[in-house]
């Protein structure tokens, strides 16, 4: 096994830069740089030397194999965050036999391979590092701390018991087994199937928390949609003018709305138009608005709309240009900002209400495994009903168990590893 090393912190000038070394040669490599190592898990200040010259003063941390992030011997060198210091240390490590630069995600991959993390935790860690909003952080932390693994283990436990009950009947087929195990098996199968269905139902929202909710601003031309978007963005994200039909493309602005990641969409004003390009914009506006999680309908007082998008429960209907019409509840003005805080609070309340129903599963990979397991359980329940032999029902349960184990990487792991690690950067 190679000993790997990498800069674990972001590149560039900083107060501190951490170089991490992991593998059987980590301790030896570190001793060559700093002399004696401090006791395991205790920070110690050491001079880093190259050919007798002091390169930097570093805080050194050393972890024994079996008690580190990767499960291997690990040394962390907390250097001053200078490009020159970091480069000198990386060069010295690269020159040592048996050491090489880590691949992207390789530290985490070793943690997985050594059983320090399960696959879902690895995904949670990737999301945690990528998280930008409070809801993203909280959701990622839940997965990273093993919540999905614990749930999967509970479901697996119930299904293993159900399969064992059926297998006991198979083993004692010649004897007179007085108990009918089918009711208990069915109860276990139904219980897990229900829990899986709940995960599927909450998946869409969990995915939105991870990737962001889309909220589209729609309305007739010149309603002030782009002006409103710019007010919220705090910059000129979209062109505005008194000419109807100014916006043609969809303009996206990403905001952090009370901890939720939200992408606001400014769209072309909806109307019938002979202008070919504007008509393309109106088409695009309608499609994106219909796909969005929520719509803000902006309508000037006394004005109708000739070409509209269907509203759905939870959408907001607001009167535009509140400054001209005297304002009041349900009115908003991008020009003056009045009503904007109330509008943002209403969006946050609606999306927050939906976010509360988020599942523990957060990725399409999880959803596919849960769906496949639930389908197998449905088949098993139906077979029990029809009096199909215990062997066949038990093998169907094994299919479901296998799919649930894939959530935490117990099976099919190679297939998903490359995809999962593709999003990691070097040093993780």
Ligand X SMILES: Nc1nc2c(ncn2[C@@H]2O[C@H](COP(=O)(O)OP(=O)(O)OP(=O)(O)O)[C@@H](O)[C@H]2O)c(=O)[nH]1
Return binding residues for Mg(2+).
226, 247
State the binding partner of 202 from Mg ion, K ion, ligand X, none, CB within 5 to 8 A by kind. none
Q: Rounded to whole angstroms, how far apart are CA atoms 270 and 272?
A: 7
CB contact at 8 A, 106 and 4: yes
Q: What is the DSSP string of 312-364?
A: -TT-EEEES-HHHHT--TTB--TTT-TTHHHHHHHHHHHHHHHHTT--S--SH
Binding residues for GTP: 222-227, 241-247, 266-269
- Smallest Cα–Cα separation from 407: which of 261, 211, 203, 260? 203
71 versus 269: smaller Cβ distance to ligand X: 269
DSSP 245: T
String marking each residue 227-246 x if it binds Mg ion according to CB under 5 A = -------------------x
Q: Rounded to whole angstroms, how far apart are CA atoms 162 and 396?
A: 11
Q: Does 281 bind ligand X (CB under 6 A)?
A: no
Q: Rounded to whole angstroms, how far apart are CA atoms 108 and 406?
A: 18
CB contact at 8 A, 285 and 250: yes
State the binding partner of 321 from K ion, ligand X, Mg ion, none, CB within 5 to 8 A by kind. ligand X
131 versus 227: smaller Cβ distance to K ion: 227
Q: Does 267 bind K ion (CB under 5 A)?
A: no
Residue 415 CB partners (closer than 8 Å, separation 6+): none
Residues of span 186-225 touching Mg ion by CB under 5 A:
225
87 versus 241: smaller Cβ distance to ligand X: 241
Laid out side by side, the sheet with 316-319 consists of: 251-257, 260-266, 213-218, 294-299, 316-319
> By beta-carbon distance, which residue lies closest to K ion?
246
Q: Taking contact as CB under 5 A, which single stretch among the options 17-25, 133-141, 247-255, 385-393 is the one that binds Mg ion?
A: 247-255
Q: Does 339 bind ligand X (CB under 6 A)?
A: no
String marking each residue 211-240 x if it binds K ion according to CB under 5 A = -----------x------------------
241 versus 389: smaller Cβ distance to ligand X: 241
Q: Does 237 bind ligand X (CB under 6 A)?
A: no
103 versus 236: smaller Cβ distance to Mg ion: 236
38 versus 244: smaller Cβ distance to ligand X: 244
Q: Rounded to whole angstroms, how far apart are CA atoms 305 and 295?
A: 15
Q: Does 131 bind Mg ion (CB under 5 A)?
A: no
- Smallest Cα–Cα separation from 261: which of 210, 216, 217? 210
Q: Does 273 bind K ion (CB under 5 A)?
A: no
By CB under 6 A, name the one of 146, 154, 244, 402 that touches ligand X: 244
Q: Rounded to whole angstroms, how far apart are CA atoms 362 and 303?
A: 42
122 versus 251: smaller Cβ distance to ligand X: 251
By CB under 5 A, name the one of 131, 247, 273, 333 that touches Mg ion: 247
Q: How far is CA 274 from CA 4, 88, 268, in A?
A: 63, 65, 14
Q: Does 3 bind Mg ion (CB under 5 A)?
A: no
By CB under 5 A, name the one of 3, 9, 246, 333 that touches K ion: 246
Q: Does 273 bind ligand X (CB under 6 A)?
A: no
Binding residues: 20, 76, 116, 222-227, 241-247, 266-269, 428
Q: Does 319 bind ligand X (CB under 6 A)?
A: no
3-class secondary structure per residue, 109-146: HHHHHCCCCCHHHHHHHHHHHHCCCHHHHHHHHHHHCC
Least Å from the CB of residue 227 to ligand X: 3
CB contact at 8 A, 204 and 174: no
String marking each residue 192-221 x if it binds ligand X according to CB under 6 A = -----------------------------x
State the binding partner of 212 from Mg ion, ligand X, K ion, none, CB within 5 to 8 A by kind. none
Binding residues for (6S)-5-formyl-5,6,7,8-tetrahydrofolate: 20, 76, 116, 428
Q: How far is CA 317 from CA 257, 291, 301, 349, 374, in A?
A: 19, 18, 12, 15, 39
Across 101-120, b (16+ Cβ under 10 Å) vs e yields ebebbbbbbbbbbeebbbbb
Tell me which residues touch ligand X (CB under 6 A).
221-227, 240-242, 244-247, 268-269, 321, 323-324, 333-335
Tell me which residues touch K ion (CB under 5 A).
222, 246
Tell me which residues touch Mg ion (CB under 5 A).
225-226, 246-247
């Amino acid at each position: 096994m190679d000993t790997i090393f990498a800069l674990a912190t972001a590149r560039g000038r900083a107060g501190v830069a951490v170089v991490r070394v992991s593998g059987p040669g980590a301790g030896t490599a570190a001793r060559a740089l700093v002399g004696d190592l401090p006791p395991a898990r205790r920070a110690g200040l050491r001079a880093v030397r190259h050919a007798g010259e002091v390169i930097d003063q570093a805080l050194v941390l050393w972890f024994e194999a079996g008690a580190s992030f990767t499960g291997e011997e690990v040394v962390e060198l907390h250097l001053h965050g200078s490009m020159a210091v970091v480069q000198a240390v990386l060069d010295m490590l690269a020159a040592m036999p048996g050491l090489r630069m880590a691949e992207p995600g390789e530290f985490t991959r070793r943690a997985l391979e050594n059983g320090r993390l399960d696959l879902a935790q690895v995904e949670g860690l990737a999301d945690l590092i990528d998280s930008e909003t409070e809801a993203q952080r909280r959701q990622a932390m839940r997965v990273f701390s093993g919540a999905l693994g614990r749930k999967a283990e509970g479901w697996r436990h119930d299904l293993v018991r159900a399969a064992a009950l059926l297998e006991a009947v198979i083993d004692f087929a010649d004897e007179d087994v007085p108990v009918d195990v089918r009711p208990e098996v069915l109860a276990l199968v139904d219980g897990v199937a229900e829990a899986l269905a709940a995960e599927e139902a909450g998946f869409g929202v969990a995915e939105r928390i991870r990737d962001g909710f889309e909220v589209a601003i729609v309305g007739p031309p010149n309603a002030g949609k782009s002006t409103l978007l710019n007010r919220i963005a705090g910059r000129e994200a979209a062109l505005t003018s008194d000419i109807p039909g100014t916006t043609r493309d969809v303009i996206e602005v990403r905001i952090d709305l009370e901890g939720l990641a939200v992408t606001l969409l400014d769209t072309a004003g909806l109307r019938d138009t002979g202008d070919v390009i504007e008509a393309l914009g109106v088409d695009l506006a309608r499609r994106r608005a219909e796909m969005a999680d929520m719509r803000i309908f902006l309508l000037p007082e006394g004005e109708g709309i000739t070409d509209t998008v269907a509203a759905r429960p939870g959408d907001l209907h607001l009167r535009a240009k509140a400054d001209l019409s005297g304002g009041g509840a349900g009115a908003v003005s991008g020009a003056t900002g009045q009503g904007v805080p109330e509008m943002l609070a209403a969006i946050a309340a609606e999306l927050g209400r939906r976010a509360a129903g988020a599942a523990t599963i957060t990725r399409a990979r999880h959803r596919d495994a849960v769906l496949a397991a639930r389908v197998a359980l449905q088949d098993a329940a139906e077979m029990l009903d029809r009096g199909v032999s215990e062997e066949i029902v038990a093998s169907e349960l094994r299919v479901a168990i296998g799919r649930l184990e894939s959530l935490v990487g117990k099976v099919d792991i190679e297939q998903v590893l490359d995809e999962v690690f593709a999003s990691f950067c070097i040093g993780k």
